[in-house]
Amino acid sequence: MRLAIDPFRLRKNMEELAEFGWESTGGIWRESFGAADQAAKQWLIAKIEAARLHARQDAAGNVWGRLGPAGPAVLVGSHIDTVPAGGMFDGALGVVAALECLQTIREQKPALGHPLEMVAFSDEEGAFLSFLGSRAAVGALRREELAEAQNMQGVPLAQALAACGLNVAELLRARSTPHAIRAYLELHIEQGPRLEAAQIPIGIVRTIVGIAAYRITFQGEANHAGTTPLAVRKDALLGAAEFALQVDAWVRSHTLGVVTVGNMDVLPGAFNIVPGEVRLALEFREASSAQLASMEQAILQIGAEVAHQRNLGFRAQKLSWDEPVALSPAIIAVIRQEADALGLKFQLMDSGAGHDAQILAPQTEAGMIFIPSLQGKSHCPQENSRWEHIEQGAQLLLNCLLRLAGSESAKA
Ligand SMILES: [Zn+2]
């Protein structure tokens, strides 16, 4: 017997979850540890219990639902927190689909070789600290970063945790017992335009890109905008602008990656003063570790050359460096086979966005399934996916879970 998810229940649960944090201005905002996120977690716990799974919340606020005996579980999940004015699918799809899969298995009772567990990780979006929940679960949090973490409004993490009955000391002990996770699967929207453009319903993720962030400063000289001749100026903004354009051109022609100058602070910042200093926020991403390193080298070289030509000072401060993460070849093979068995077209691809799967990957066999995002939109109210693709993705997730949990019905 082939098990099938219930697409109506899946859709109804997606729509119910979307009510939490819905804003009249459009979009959904469930900041982790905020009121809407807490209410959504309570809703999820009630759903898990109604599905007759064992529900629990850990010290990081992660919500778990378990089926089967003790021992290493096949884990499936994602996150339900959102960015401000976000959409109803990012993260939520992976959690609601995980619930649907476990509920279907609970009802149909196929014989399983291993237990199954679902999870909604806290603060994937990094309102306080990116991947806080999944990092807590694998024991990858540091005390110092917890002490410094605060949200956009300046609320310290400790205060937000306290409002939820949690605390930092406990959080550091939230780690699941080592080897408690047998494998990890995550269904997610692509958040980009490639699957829709190729008219392919399923993406199988090979690698989650590496991400580097730099604070770059061009130092010039502030001076009178009316009396200082162009030829003798040390205009920091012109250097920063030229840098941004040259870096973009280099990355386009040499890599498959992306580079973004997301912010520029222009000082002093007036109509009538030559810009004396510009600080810019630079981020770049690549799926290949070697390419990420050569991007860094080229970017720093371009910055130094532009500064030299324009008589400016140049400083580059590395803020963060996360290596690309390869997902499990064994899980990729399982997803491929199950997609073939369902007659679903798929494409192997890299993820340009970060996901909890990259935190789990060093600890266990981790895999990700993507479904198309309409017009590639995400992190905005227009984020959307076809229900047909959602059902196909959830069914594929179920079939992969059955395989990984060693179910006899997976072979039927
Ligand atoms: Zn997400």
pLDDT of the residue at 412: 47
Q: Quote the ligand 1 centre to 333 CA distance (angstroms).
A: 23
Strand positions, DSSP E, 71-201 = 73-79, 116-121, 181-189
How many C-beta neighbours within 10 Å does residue 410 have? 22
How many C-beta neighbours within 10 Å does residue 3 have? 20
Q: Quote the ligand 1 centre to 227 CA distance (angstroms).
A: 52
Q: Quote the ligand 1 centre to 91 CA distance (angstroms).
A: 4
Q: Quote the ligand 1 centre to 337 CA distance (angstroms).
A: 25
Q: Quote the ligand 1 centre to 241 CA distance (angstroms).
A: 32
Q: Which residues of the chain does CATH 3.30.70.360 include?
A: 210-322
Chunked in runs of 10, what are the mean pLDDT values of the chain (412 residues)?
Answer: 92 98 92 98 98 95 94 96 96 98 96 95 95 94 91 94 92 76 97 97 97 97 97 98 98 97 96 98 96 98 98 96 96 98 98 96 96 96 97 98 85 50
Q: Quote the ligand 1 centre to 326 CA distance (angstroms).
A: 18
Residues 157, 54, 110, 345: what is their CA dihedral angle, to the nearest 10 degrees? -20
Q: Quote the ligand 1 centre to 354 CA distance (angstroms).
A: 8
Residue with tokens 């198309």, as numbered in its chain: 372
Prediction pTM value: 0.92
pLDDT of the residue at 32: 97
Q: Quote the ligand 1 centre to 36 CA distance (angstroms).
A: 17
pLDDT of the residue at 175: 79
Q: Quote the ligand 1 centre to 307 CA distance (angstroms).
A: 38
Cis preceding-peptide flag for 275 (omega within 30 of 0): no
DSSP assignment string, 298-356: HHHHHHHHHHHHTT-EEEEEEEEEE--EEPPHHHHHHHHHHHHHTT--EEEEEESS--H
In tens, the pLDDT along 93-111 reads 999 999 999 999 999 998 9
In tens, the pLDDT along 25-34 reads 889 999 999 9
pLDDT of the residue at 25: 82
Q: Quote the ligand 1 centre to 248 CA distance (angstroms).
A: 26
233 backbone dihedrals φ, ψ, rounded to 5° = -75, 150
152 backbone dihedrals φ, ψ, rounded to 5° = -60, -30
Q: Quote the ligand 1 centre to 217 CA distance (angstroms).
A: 31
Q: Which residues contact residue 97 at a Cβ distance below 8 angstroms, ignoring those fewer than 6 apart?
A: 5, 10, 187, 390, 393, 394, 397
Q: Which CATH superfamily is domain 7-209+326-411 in?
A: Zn peptidases (3.40.630.10)
Q: Quote the ligand 1 centre to 356 CA distance (angstroms).
A: 8
Q: Quote the ligand 1 centre to 188 CA distance (angstroms).
A: 7
Angle formed by the axes of helices 387-404 and 92-108, nearest 10°: 60
210-322 CATH:
3.30.70.360
State the DSSP code for 409: G
Euclidean distance between CA atoms 27 and 22, whole angstroms: 6
Q: Quote the ligand 1 centre to 167 CA distance (angstroms).
A: 25
